Amino acid sequence: MTLSVFRQTLQHDVPPAGLTPALLAMWWDGRGDWDRSHDIAQEDHSRAGSWVHAYLHRKEGDTGNAAYWYARAGKPVFRGTLEEEWDQLSGLYY
């Protein structure tokens, strides 16, 4: 699945089958459900899950918490836009 196809699935009421927890969290965020996305990211203890968790806290404006999760993911704090980070996160794990 490409990033473009992934974006198109956001028009559906349910996510596509077979998504990793990190991608599932990004899918729910793309649908505007920050809480559901955060719940999934919080349970995903992988580096990908930690990066998604960081992104979500940056999105809510909690930079201190975001910095902690970027460190857990082994990533520097993202300096681009939230949209750029969403694209990078969502396109990275295919």
What pLDDT sits at residue 6? Answer: 93
Count of other CB atoms within 10 angstroms of residue 32:
9
Give the C-alpha separation, 62 to 12, whole Å: 30
Q: Is the sign of the CA dihedral 42, 63, 29, 34 positive or negative?
A: positive
85 pLDDT higher than 90: yes
Looking at residues 76-84, what average pLDDT do you find? 97
pLDDT at 1: 80
Looking at residue 78, what DSSP letter applies? P
Q: For residue 91, is pLDDT > 90? A: no
- Average of pLDDT values for 57-86? 97
| pLDDT at 94 (0 to 100) | 52
